Chain A
């Protein structure tokens, strides 16, 4: 056991750092982690990475993965977090793609993977429904066979960034009579331009438009868009959720968040001294950093296990719970740090497109919206209560 980077790994880090410094779109500096980006802004770095062959590092090499070790992937996320990079969105790269390359047909692999890799096609996730949140197996959206097509009807919700999506992956009930609810579900890929799909915005408490309701009325989808076997969708869905969870810890980004918090605290003044020198505030930041270190080493152990061929298992629930608690705590402390200037609600960027506001320090207007927005993290991806249920059942055996 050791924690040192090898000379090759140090050379890799330098290569990555140089590449990011040279190639990360200059106009996006300072935009990371902020709400309401345009489609082009979301995709700008993805497209640069695709040209370099680095947009999908975690994929198997035969499909265009980089073949990096877990240490290299760790370095990769650390270096991107340094500049707050707007990374490729998870819905295509990290969620549907592993399902397609693991369970999909050769035609599906050839049709979908290259455009996910290039950033040409944007994906959204059709999982949750109004009556199926934590209890995902309760999905009611139906897919009924009609010749070579399915006719799909139902309502999905919390479809993140579906307003930009070209394709969506949907859980649909194909056998309403199945003995167990989990047995009658199929995993279907749907072109979001198909007639009968309507995407309606849901505005969240921070005022942003990130999620949507997606209504499907007699949507006709070719049967060949089903991934894997009919009625086996639950297996693929669970596989995908475990993948989603392992990326959810956000260690590198939280480290960067703590750096930013420290910079804010150094600029804020309390009784004539920097807030960063205030004992009680400083100790709260230290506590957070210690918690993050515990999470980081838990993630490193998980990655090391994956490198030895263990897939992401129920342990990934630890990463989800602790990772999201830390992300939320970070936004709490940031809001505390900005004091009175947490209150002004200066929606969106200044009209001149700059980072400069005419009210309070430039870091302040995002503190409260981020705090509010990040409450979602303990709810989405399987709520933290559900994660604890998973650990109870799968690890403790209770």
Chain B
């Protein structure tokens, strides 16, 4: 057992952390959020130059030979700096589908472009009436000659306004919510029949509703096996879940540190409020929640390569614990900052907003608790047989 980072991983963390410190201060971020585009393509390019977008891919695929631990390191730093750029949508999701399901030609065309930031991907999986069930799809892809024709509506596609490519999950067979009959496609956002309604999100990013109206794609748009895509989707979503857990742990750490610092500075009744025991214990509870979130992030990250049930349970367990921890830490950070915590002017509120939104990404606490329970029941049944 070893919880240490390799020298290379340490370097990734240090260079990213320096970049964020120098170019991602709170005021700069506020300005970017308010700007027309809502992100900095030049920052994205710089992250690519640092090699971060290559980090989790094998050398064979043109990457640096890292994996989930590298993603975890990047996302913790992203969380600390509330970085907006779409590492999870493009690298973890887009790159993940190609890594696990792409053909050599698809990797050649798309993975290289993801790593160099020449292409940016967004992951269009959610639907207006599907909630967190990845198989509950109304979007369809009908076979048309050698290719497919897509129709449907994808909801709240994070980073879609910044993307030029979309990963789209669609039903190619079976009934709604069936595990079989699901396929995954790469769709050019500029393709005929794709339209978007872009908007900002509560936590300062950008997302879009994406509509597909008889969008024709070629056979080479299909990633993985036709009709058998759910396994691939779940794998990538588990990886993305671990990544946002790492981000949440980073966010929580800063929210906690800011709160402790504020409690040292802020005086009421002639004394720093950090001297009041009721607040001390509350901040200790926040600390414990944060520590456990880091632990769960490690756990889930290290189990991503194990068998399917182990991996799924690990990702769900982490998301449950971190969803709960994030709510507690976020709410108490605001409470202890008092009225100041309610203001847009202080950074802590923005950390709170990000924590709030992470809960609903890739399934909230309830969803993952249910998934964990179902998986455990399945294991128990197998053991009984």
Contact = CB atoms under 8 A, between A and B. Distances in A.
B155 interface: yes
Interface in A358-398: 358-360, 368-369, 371-372, 375-376, 378-380, 383-385, 388
Nearest to A269: B129
Interface stretch (A113-121, A131-139, A235-243, A300-308): A131-139
A11 interface: no
Nearest to A386: B268
B268 A339 contact: no
Contact of A204 (B136, B203, B279, B342): B342
Contacts of A344: 156, 199-202, 207
A158 B199 contact: no
Contacts of B177: 271-272
A343 B357 contact: yes
A342 B202 contact: yes
B269 A135 contact: yes
B176 interface: yes
A343 B201 contact: yes
Nearest to B350: A205
Interface string B145-167: 00000000001101000000000
A196 to B, nearest CB: 24
A155 interface: no
B202 A379 contact: no
A202 to B, nearest CB: 6
Contacts of A202: 343, 345
Nearest to A328: B331
Contacts of A205: 334, 341-344, 349-350, 352-353
Nearest to B129: A269
B278 A385 contact: yes
Nearest to B128: A360
B369 to A, nearest CB: 7
B197 interface: yes
Interface in B99-132: 126, 128-132
A280 B370 contact: yes
Interface residues of B, number: 51
A128 interface: yes
A339 B342 contact: no
B209 A359 contact: yes
A388 B26 CA distance: 35
Nearest to A361: B128
Interface string B205-216: 001010000000
A299 B129 CA distance: 40
A74 interface: no
Contacts of A384: 335
Nearest to A128: B339
Interface in B346-368: 349-350, 352-353, 356-357, 359-360, 364, 366
A342 B202 CA distance: 8
Contacts of B343: 202-205
Interface string B316-351: 000000000001000100110011011111000110
Contacts of A281: 366
B201 A339 contact: no
A272 B176 contact: yes
A203 B345 contact: yes
A375 B156 contact: no
A157 interface: yes
B234 to A, nearest CB: 16
Contacts of B269: 134-135, 138
A51 interface: no
B201 A372 contact: no
Contacts of B360: 335-336, 339-340, 342-343
B156 A133 contact: no
A64 interface: no
Contacts of A379: 334-335, 338-339, 341-342
A176 interface: no
A130 B129 CA distance: 46
Contacts of A157: 339
Contacts of B268: 133-135, 138
B163 to A, nearest CB: 16
A388 B200 CA distance: 39
Nearest to B364: A336
Contacts of B199: 344-346, 359
A341 interface: yes
Most buried by A among B268, B279, B341, B350: B268
A38 to B, nearest CB: 21
B133 interface: yes
Given A133-B339, A135-B269, A157-B339, A203 B344 contact: yes
Contacts of A272: 136, 176-177
Given A271-B177, A344-B199, A280 B369 contact: yes
A290 interface: no
B338 to A, nearest CB: 5
Contact of B133 (A128, A270, A275, A371): A270
A335 B176 CA distance: 26
Given A204-B344, A343-B201, A372 B156 contact: no
A358 B197 contact: yes
Contacts of B344: 203-205, 207
A360 B155 contact: yes
Contacts of A203: 343-345
Most buried by A among B158, B201, B331, B338: B338
A77 B80 CA distance: 45
Contacts of B353: 205, 372
A368 B360 CA distance: 11
B126 A368 contact: no
A36 interface: no
B366 A345 contact: no
A325 B128 CA distance: 30
A376 B334 CA distance: 9
A372 B273 CA distance: 23
A268 interface: yes
Contacts of A359: 197, 199, 209
B278 A343 contact: no
Interface string B66-78: 0000000000000
A184 to B, nearest CB: 16
Given A269-B129, A281-B366, A385-B278, A368 B338 contact: no
Given A157-B339, A203-B343, A271-B133, 20 more contacts: A133-B338, A134-B273, A135-B268, A202-B345, A204-B343, A204-B344, A205-B334, A205-B344, A205-B350, A269-B131, A270-B133, A272-B136, A280-B369, A344-B199, A344-B202, A344-B207, A345-B202, A346-B199, A368-B356, A372-B356
17 contacts: A134-B338, A203-B345, A205-B341, A270-B133, A271-B177, A280-B366, A340-B131, A341-B155, A342-B360, A343-B357, A358-B197, A359-B197, A359-B199, A360-B128, A372-B352, A375-B335, A384-B335
> Which A-B residue pairs are the 8 nearest by beta carbons?
A205-B349, A135-B268, A340-B156, A203-B344, A368-B202, A343-B201, A269-B129, A345-B202
